[in-house]
Amino acid sequence: MTETVDHSQEGEATRRDFIHIAAGAAAVGAGVMAAWPLINQMNPAADTLALSTIEFDTSKVMEGMQVVIKWQGKPVFVRNRTAAELQRVKADDRASDLKEPQTDAERTKPGHENMLVVIGSCTHLGCVPTFNAGDFGGWFCPCHGSHYDASGRIRKGPAPLNLVVPDYEFTAGSTVRIG
């Protein structure tokens, strides 16, 4: 009877160990290469990234008027509110009928309280509300009857939330950068 002699010492790497490690590394690399297109397709498209910020000169908006600009495919209302509107919304800051209590100061930037910037989609079903309409002098969504005040806060109707205030800042004087 012949005995097989193991010439390798215990703990020493063998050729077989190297082949196992190399095959495992190749399998992991192939898996990453196969998964990369699936992961990469979830990134925003180049045209979307190009629209991630927009700048607008608010000096073009006359007092008491609003301009609708398009940002990321959504309407954005830029409204220059009158002194009477400001007085009315500040008086309503503590009103008991606010579904989502927010003060006007929380919805505007210091030094630019007259300028309101909100996304112009009703928070009920995404309709575009009508300017300077409704019971509170703000917007009215004719589709389902939601009433917003001049600060974009929901006051009456089925909409559950205030009009959304996007991330924005005033950069140079009257120029606002949204996004």
* C-beta of residue 121 within 8 angstroms of C-beta of residue 161: no
How far is C-alpha 84 from the geometric centre of its chain's CA atoms?
30
Beta-strand ranges (E) seen in the chain are: 54-57, 66-71, 74-80, 115-119, 130-133, 137-141, 146-149, 154-156, 168-170, 175-178
Q: Looking at the DSSP assignment, which residues form a beta bridge with residue 80?
A: 115
Q: Is 134 left (phi over 0), alpha (psi -120 to 50) or beta?
A: left
* C-beta of residue 135 within 8 angstroms of C-beta of residue 16: no
* C-beta of residue 167 within 8 angstroms of C-beta of residue 178: yes
| Catalytic residue chosen out of the listed positions 112, 124, 144, 147 | 144
Told to judge if 144 belongs to the known catalytic residues of this protein, a careful annotator would answer yes
Q: Looking at the DSSP assignment, which residues form a beta bridge with residue 147?
A: 140, 156
Q: Enter the tokens of residue 177.
A: 């950068």
Distance CA 133, CA 118 (A): 16
Active site residues: 144
